[in-house]
C-alpha cells in the first residue's frame, strides 16, 4: 500500500523503487520504440508510431521472406483475432478471441502456457469477442477481458498474480483494448458505448491492481483519486454539469474509451480517444455532448484532463473519436496525428491541443463540408443529419445517406508513421450508409442506439485503401486499393517497407515511398490485426495474427454480404529471411 500511495502523491519519485525488482522497467517501456529486440507495448512504443529501425528486411530482401513458424490458437473459439503480439525476454505474449492469452517460445513456436478466462454466458460485446493485446510490467503480463476484468499473470508460469473487476458486464461494460503503462501507472479504458455505459479512464498500480484514480469521459461525472486505504476522494467533476448535456442523458452518455491510449514521454501526457455519445439519436441530447467523440490529453499520475479536442460535436452518425493519437515531430514541434472515423485527418499540437490542420483522407464525406481551422469545429451539412422522429410519425425519422458509414473511414485498425518518409500510412475504407433515427429509452444492459442503418459500398472495385498521407500538406501520396474493407493494422520500418494485412488473408509488404507491392503471403484466414517486428540473434522477424472477424461481418450490411466467403481462423505467423544477409 505504501508503494501505491507514493506513486499517487509523488509522481515520478517511486519509480526507482519499483524498478529495482522489475524485469520490465519504466525506462524500458519509455524507450520501447527504440528497442529492436523486444516489442514491449501496443503500438511498438507507447507513442504508437509502429515504426521499427530494423533494416535487415528491406525493399531489396523482402522477397526472400518465408515462414519461420506458425502457432494455432486452437479450439472452436475462432471469431475475430485483432491482437498485437508483445515480445519480451524470449517470449511472445498474444491474446486471442474470448479473452484468452498465450505465451509462446520465440525460437521454436512452442506453447509455454495458456490462460483462458472463464466468461459468463451473458457477456454483451458490441463488436465481436476480440482482444487487441496485453501490457507487460515487472514480471507480469496484464490484459482486459470481455466481462470487464483486468487479469495479471506471471510471465513465466501463467499463474494469476492479481485480478480486479473493472465494472458490471451486465450493464454492457467490457474490455477489448491493450492496457497502457505510463510513468509506472497501468492505464485502461472501457468498452460498451452502445449500451449506455459511462466511459472513463483509470490508473492502477500495475504490480497490485490497486486503483489510483478514475476520470470519467462524460461531462457531469465526478473523477476520483484513492488514498492509501483505498478510500475514494473526489477529484473534481468532468466539465460542467448540463453545460453541453441538457437534461438527464449525461448519466448514460457513452463516450467509451474502447481503443485504449498512447503516451508520449516528450510531453508527459497520455492520450485517449472517446467513442460516440449515447444514444445515437442526437435530437434527444442537444449540445456538444462533451467529452464524447474527442481526444483527451491526461496526466498519467492523476488522471487530470490537460486538454481536449472534440472532432464530432453532437455526433449523430456513430463517428467514435476513439482512434489512436500518434505523436510525431514536424517543423520542430511535437504534434499528434489522428485519422478519425468521421473521415478527417487531424494534426494537433500534442502539448496544447491546438488544431494545426484537418483534411479528408477518404473521398466521400457528406456530414460536413470541412473543418474550420480557427474554431476547430466542423462545418455541418444540416440536411445530411438524420431527422428527429418526433417531427414525423413518432416512429422513424427520415432516412439520409451518410458517408463515411458508422464503421468509419478508419476503425480499430491502427495506422503507422515513418520518421524516415514523414508519412502516415492509414488503412482507410470507402463506404456509406442509409441511417435514420428512432425513439429509444435507456434500459440497463440493452442496446441503446435509437437509430437504424444499412451500410453500402461506394465503389464497385474496392472498399479498402491503404493510403500514404502527408501531414504537412494533407495530400495522399499513394494508395493501394483493396476489394474488401481493410480491418488490420499497419507497420513501417527503416528498411523502407510498410506491412499490412487484408481480409482476404494476405500479409503484404510494400515500398514505403511508392506503395509498390514487393511481397505477400497467404495466412489462411483474414488479417484484422497489426504486424510487429524484432530481432533475435542477428535475425529480424516479422509476426502477425490471422483470424477473420470483428465488426464488419456483424454490422456490415451489404458490405458483409460481399465478404461472407471469408473463412475464420486463429493463428500467429512468424517470418524471417530465407537466407542470411
**3-state helix/strand/coil string of 485-503:** CCCCCEEEECCCEEEEECC
Strands 333-339 and 326-330 turn out to be antiparallel
CA–CA distance, 445 with 192 (Å, rounded to integer) = 10
Quick one: three-class SS letters along 281-348?
Answer: CHHHCCCCCCCCCEEEEECCCCCCEEEEEECCCCCCCCCCCCCCCEEEEECCEEEEEEECCCCEEEEE
Q: Are 532 and 57 in contact (CB under 8 A)?
A: no
Task: Kindly provide the b/e burial profile for residues 192-231, where b requires at least 16 CB atoms within 10 angstroms of the residue's own CB.
Answer: bbbbbbbbbbbbbbbbebbbbbbbbbbbbbebbbbeeeee
Residue 400 has pLDDT above 90, yes or no: yes
Per-residue pLDDT band for 19 (boundaries 50, 70, 90) equals very low
What is residue 580's predicted lDDT score, i.e. its pLDDT?
Answer: 60
Distance CA 332, CA 49 (A): 18
Per the CB < 8 A criterion, the answer to whether 175 and 204 are in contact is no
For range 40-53, the mean pLDDT: 98
The per-residue pLDDT for range 154-174, each reduced to its tens digit, is 999 999 999 999 999 999 999
- pLDDT per residue as tens digits for the range 163-214: 999 999 999 999 999 999 999 999 999 999 999 999 999 999 999 999 999 9
pLDDT of residue 1: 37
- Domain containing 303 — which CATH number? 2.140.10.10
Region of poorest pLDDT, from 17-21, 374-378, 473-477: 17-21
Residue 9 has pLDDT above 80, yes or no: no
Cα–Cα dist 495/58, whole Å: 4
Whether the CB-CB separation of 72 and 122 falls below 8 Å is answered with no
* Domains identified in the chain, total number: 1
What b-and-e string marks burial along 127-141, b requiring 16 or more CB atoms within 10 Å of the CB? bbbbbbbbbbbbbbb
Angle made by CA atoms 260, 425, 30, in degrees to the nearest 5: 45
Whose CA is closest to 4, among 203, 199, 269? Answer: 203
The answer to whether the CB of 153 falls within 8 A of the CB of 159 is yes
- By residue range, what is the domain housing residue 457? 2-577
pLDDT in tens, 334-371: 999 999 999 999 999 999 999 999 999 999 999 999 99
CA distance 404 to 549: 21
Q: Give the pLDDT confidence of 92-140 residue by residue, as tens digits.
A: 999 999 999 999 999 999 999 999 999 998 888 888 889 999 999 999 9
pTM of the predicted model as reported, rounded to 2 decimal places: 0.95
Q: CB of 309 within 8 A of CB of 291?
A: no
Q: Residue 192, Cα to own-chain centre: how many angstroms?
A: 14
**Angle ∠(455,282,173) on CA atoms, nearest 5:** 75
pLDDT exceeds 70 at position 11: no
Q: Is the peptide bond before 404 cis (omega within 30 degrees of 0)?
A: yes
**DSSP, res 229:** T
pLDDT, mean over the chain = 93
**SS3 of 10, please?**
helix
Longest Cα–Cα distance of the chain, Å, equals 71
Helix (H) or strand (E) holding 9: helix 2-10
Q: 213-216: which pairs have CB atoms within 8 A and are 24 or more residues apart? A: 213/8, 213/302, 213/303, 214/303, 215/298, 215/303, 215/304, 215/305
Q: Which residues are catalytic?
A: 318
Q: Between residues 579 and 96, which one has the greater pLDDT? A: 96
How many residues are recorded in the chain? 581
Q: Kindly provide the residue ranges of all beta strands, DSSP E only, lying in 119-199, ordered along the sequence.
A: 135-137, 140-144, 149-154, 160-165, 180-182, 185-188
Question: Cα angle vertex 282, ends 441, 397, to 5°?
Answer: 80
Q: Which of 191, 178, 45, 127 is nearest to 487 (CA)?
A: 127
Q: Distance (Å, rounded) from C-alpha 215 to C-alpha 206?
A: 17
Mind listing the pLDDT tens digit for each residue in 63-77?
A: 999 999 999 998 777
What is the reported pLDDT for 541?
Answer: 98
Query: How many whole angstroms separate alpha carbon 544 and alpha carbon 145?
Result: 21
Burial annotation 364-379 (CB, 10 A radius, 16+ → b, else e): bbbbbeebeeeebbbe
> CB under 8 Å to 244, separation ≥6 — which residues?
219, 287, 288, 289, 290
- % pLDDT > 70, the chain: 96
What is the spatial distance between Cα 179 and Cα 67, in angstroms, rounded to a whole number? 29
Question: Which SS3 state, helix, strand or coil, does residue 562 take?
Answer: helix
Amino acid at each position: 500500500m505504501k508503494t501505491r500511495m507514493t506513486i499517487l502523491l509523488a509522481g515520478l519519485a517511486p519509480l526507482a523503487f519499483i524498478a529495482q525488482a522489475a524485469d520490465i522497467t519504466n525506462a524500458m517501456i519509455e524507450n520501447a520504440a527504440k528497442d529492436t529486440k523486444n516489442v514491449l507495448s501496443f503500438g511498438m512504443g507507447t507513442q504508437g508510431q509502429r515504426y521499427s529501425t530494423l533494416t535487415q528486411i528491406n525493399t531489396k530482401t523482402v522477397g526472400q521472406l518465408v515462414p519461420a513458424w506458425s502457432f494455432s490458437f486452437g479450439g472452436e473459439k475462432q471469431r475475430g483475432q485483432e491482437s498485437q503480439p508483445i515480445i519480451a525476454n524470449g517470449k511472445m505474449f498474444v491474446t486471442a478471441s474470448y479473452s484468452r492469452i498465450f505465451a509462446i517460445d520465440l525460437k521454436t513456436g512452442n506453447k509455454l502456457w495458456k490462460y483462458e478466462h472463464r466468461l459468463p454466458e451473458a457477456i454483451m460485446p458490441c463488436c465481436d469477442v476480440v482482444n487487441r493485446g496485453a501490457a507487460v510490467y515487472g514480471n507480469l503480463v496484464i490484459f482486459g477481458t470481455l466481462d470487464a476484468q483486468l487479469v495479471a499473470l506471471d510471465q513465466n508460469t501463467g499463474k494469476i498474480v492479481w485480478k480486479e473487476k473493472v465494472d458490471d458486464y451486465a450493464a454492457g461494460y467490457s474490455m477489448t483494448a491493450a492496457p497502457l503503462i505510463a510513468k509506472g501507472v497501468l492505464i485502461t479504458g472501457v468498452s460498451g458505448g452502445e449500451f449506455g455505459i459511462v466511459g472513463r479512464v483509470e490508473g492502477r498500480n500495475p504490480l497490485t491492481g490497486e486503483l489510483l484514480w478514475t476520470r470519467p469521459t462524460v461531462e457531469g461525472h465526478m473523477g476520483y483519486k484513492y488514498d492509501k486505504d483505498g478510500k475514494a476522494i473526489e477529484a473534481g467533476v468532468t466539465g460542467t454539469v448540463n453545460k453541453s448535456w441538457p437534461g438527464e442523458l449525461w448519466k448514460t452518455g457513452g463516450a467509451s474509451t474502447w481503443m485504449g491510449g498512447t503516451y508520449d514521454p516528450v510531453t508527459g501526457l497520455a492520450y485517449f480517444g472517446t467513442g460516440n455519445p449515447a444514444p445515437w439519436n442526437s435530437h434527444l441530447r442537444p449540445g456538444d455532448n462533451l467529452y464524447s467523440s474527442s481526444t483527451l490529453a491526461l496526466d498519467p499520475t492523476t488522471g487530470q484532463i490537460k486538454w481536449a479536442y472534440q472532432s464530432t460535436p453532437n455526433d449523430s452518425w456513430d463517428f467514435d473519436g476513439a482512434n489512436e493519437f500518434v505523436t510525431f515531430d514536424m517543423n520542430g514541434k511535437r504534434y499528434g496525428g489522428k485519422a478519425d472515423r468521421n473521415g478527417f485527418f487531424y494534426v494537433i499540437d500534442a502539448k496544447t491541443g491546438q488544431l494545426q490542420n484537418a483534411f479528408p483522407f477518404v473521398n466521400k464525406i457528406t456530414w460536413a463540408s470541412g473543418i474550420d481551422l480557427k474554431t476547430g469545429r466542423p462545418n455541418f451539412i444540416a440536411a445530411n443529419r438524420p431527422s428527429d422522429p418526433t417531427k414525423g410519425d413518432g416512429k422513424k425519422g427520415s432516412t439520409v445517406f451518410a458517408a463515411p458509414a458508422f464503421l468509419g473511414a478508419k476503425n480499430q485498425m491502427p495506422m503507422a508513421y515513418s520518421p524516415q518518409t514523414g508519412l502516415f500510412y492509414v488503412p482507410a475504407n470507402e463506404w456509406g450508409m442509409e441511417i435514420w433515427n428512432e425513439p429509444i429509452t435507456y434500459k440497463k444492459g440493452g442496446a441503446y442506439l435509437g437509430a437504424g442503418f444499412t451500410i453500402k459500398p461506394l465503389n464497385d472495385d474496392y472498399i479498402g485503401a491503404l493510403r500514404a498521407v502527408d501531414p504537412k500538406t494533407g495530400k495522399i501520396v499513394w494508395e493501394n486499393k483493396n476489394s474488401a474493407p481493410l480491418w488490420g493494422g499497419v507497420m513501417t520500418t527503416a528498411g523502407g517497407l510498410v506491412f499490412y494485412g487484408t481480409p482476404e488473408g494476405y500479409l503484404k509488404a510494400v515500398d514505403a515511398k511508392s506503395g509498390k507491392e514487393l511481397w505477400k503471403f497467404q495466412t489462411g484466414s483474414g488479417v484484422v490485426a497489426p504486424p510487429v517486428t524484432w530481432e533475435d540473434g542477428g535475425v529480424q522477424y516479422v509476426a502477425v495474427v490471422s483470424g477473420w472477424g470483428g465488426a464488419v461481418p456483424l454490422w456490415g450490411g451489404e458490405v458483409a454480404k460481399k465478404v461472407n466467403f471469408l473463412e475464420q481462423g486463429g493463428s500467429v505467423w512468424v517470418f524471417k529471411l530465407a537466407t542470411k544477409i
